[in-house]
Amino acid sequence: MSVHILALVGSLRSGSHNRQLAEAAAKHAPEGVEVTLYEGLAEVPFYNEDIDTDENRPAAATRLRAAAADADAFLLVTPEYNGTMPAVLKNAIDWLSRPFGAGALAGSPTAVVGTAFGQYGGVWAQDDARKSAGIAGATVLEDAKLAIPGSVTRFAETHPADDTEAVTQLRQVLGALAAGIEAPAA
């Protein structure tokens, strides 16, 4: 069985350590697991129920939902901005939570990981992302976590894909997501 995981990265910066972490997940995914980084979150407008209609829905939101519909699970990769997750990631969760109870996140295994400069690796942002995704209906894997502190120094000259410890931990998270698909919650 092949598992398709869609990675949503909360940083729009091309050189972001969180984007690099998602790239590492894609590069080192366990056998039978494919991780795709979603491109285009910057184009998705803020969620507004007035434009979430068949006649008015923005093409960028439709593309996001289509990519999510093709995924078996989600990997949310978030930096920490002012103690919480970036608006772009929260906005993606909002779009994927609709229609309420039947959005793309509903029942989907979801893990949250990330890295940040601070000593805790962005755990506040990750906790907020878990909370938001869970309320949106995702099956959040509370034990599949990875918070890497000191990103600016740790990844200054090493891409996360070349960091043995980070790769090992990412593979564990991805394995948990794959197991969550194979044995869905009762």
Residue-wise pLDDT for 111-136, tens only, equals: 999 999 999 999 999 999 999 999 99
Confidence class for position 71, pLDDT limits 50, 70, 90: very high
Number of H helices, E strands in the chain: 6, 5
Residue 5: other Cβ atoms inside 10 A: 25
What SS3 state is found at 96? helix
What was the pLDDT predicted at 183? 63
pTM: 0.96
pLDDT above 70: residue 185:
no
User: Per-residue DSSP letters for 44-57?
Assistant: SPPP-GGG-STTT-
- The CA distance from 42 to 146, in Å, is 24
What SS3 state is found at 183? coil
List the chain domain ranges. 3-182
What was the pLDDT predicted at 1? 63
| Dihedral sign computed on CA atoms, order 46, 11, 72, 184 | negative
Superfamily, domain 3-182: Flavodoxin domain (3.40.50.360)
